[in-house]
Amino acid sequence: MDLQRNVSDKEKMQEIGAELERLRAENKELSLLLHSMNHKYTTLQAHVEKIREEMDCMNESSHDLIKRQPIESVKPNLTRRYFRTNEDSASLIVKDGYHWRKYGQKITKDNPSPRAYFRCSMAPECHVKKKVQRSPDDKSVLVATYEGEHNHPLPGELDGMTSLPNISSTGLMVGFSSSTSRDQSQPEVTLGLALCGSNHEAVRSTETLINETNNNNNIMEECITLLSGDPNFRVALAAAVARSVLSNHPSNS
DNA sequence: CGGGTTTGACCGGCGC
DNA sequence: GCGCCGGTCAAACCCG
């Protein structure tokens, strides 16, 4: 009887040990994945910053185009940002940290969704405007086009860093256009860097999510939520974990 | 009551 | 000149 119990306990211990080993391997795999994501995120951020600087240079060098227009009609820099939202929601409000006053709404020709017009209401001397419209391709994505630069800090900013539209302090822009561009029908910039390599849809959504938050932790949480909800990512992750388990337990195969 | 939203009217640029 | 279209205005309305 005691002998039988001892054998049973031993088997249980072995099972727990094996499970512990499996979890350890899984943890290691996930740590590597997280590290890889962090690295790619950093690279992405640097890439965006580089593109922004290049666009600034282009704007400066395109003064000959601007010169042909009357001074009054020269538009300030346009910045395009993308926000993921609930597809069912009719709201055109995006949370970018600033306070906006809506002054108009229009149905445009190229998009069945209405376009909303906002002015910055945080400071009377701030004349930044933004247009918000759902993407015709993906109705769960709101496209916000910013015009001008804020001359006041973002509420909650601790160090008075430059305002959002041109500087990605912690959030990221995924697309922007120059002030001289007349064709706004397509996003000018599509970032080619992938956070997780194989799944473009998840990566694209992740880029969108990165835009709608100024908090790195939130970004990471949103990334995890998004990626864990993606079936393709889950399959890829499961395959990686399975490989890891098999490599640790070759006798089981 | 003050600030924000809605919505129809209006204006100006542009192409035909 | 005319019509179309995007952008803005402003009165009415809503809400805390």
DSSP state of A75: P
Token pair belonging to A35? 């590290």
Distance A134 CA to B10 C1' (A): 26
Q: What backbone phi and psi angles, to 5 degrees, belong to A211?
A: -70, -30
Distance A135 CA to B3 C1' (A): 30
In A 112-171, which Cβ lie closer than 7 Å to strand B? 116, 121
Q: Which residues touch strand C (CB under 7 A)?
A: A 103-110, 115, 117, 129, 131
A104 touches strand B (CB under 7 A): yes
Query: What Å distances lie between residue A27 and A135, A159, A220, A253, CA to CA?
Result: 38, 37, 17, 21
In A 39-98, which Cβ lie closer than 7 Å to strand B? 93
Say how far apart CA A148 and CA A146 lie, in whole Å: 7
Kindly report whether the global pTM for this prediction surpasses the value 0.75: no
Which pLDDT value is given to residue A64? 36
* Nucleotides, chain C, CB distance < 7 Å: 4-10
Whose structure tokens read 């399975």? Answer: A242
Token pair belonging to A8? 């049973």
Distance A103 CA to C12 C1' (A): 14
Distance A129 CA to C5 C1' (A): 20
Which pLDDT value is given to residue A72? 34
Residue A147: which nucleotide is closest by CA–C1'? C7
Token pair belonging to A104? 């108009």
Say how far apart CA A19 and CA A7 lie, in whole Å: 18
Parts of chain A with a pLDDT under 50: 59-76, 157-222, 225, 250-253
Distance A131 CA to C10 C1' (A): 19
Query: What Å distances lie between residue A154 and A53, A149, A163, A204, A214, CA to CA?
Result: 22, 12, 6, 26, 11
Distance A251 CA to C12 C1' (A): 78
Classify the C-alpha dihedral A39-A222-A136-A133 as positive or negative.
Answer: negative
A102 touches strand B (CB under 7 A): yes
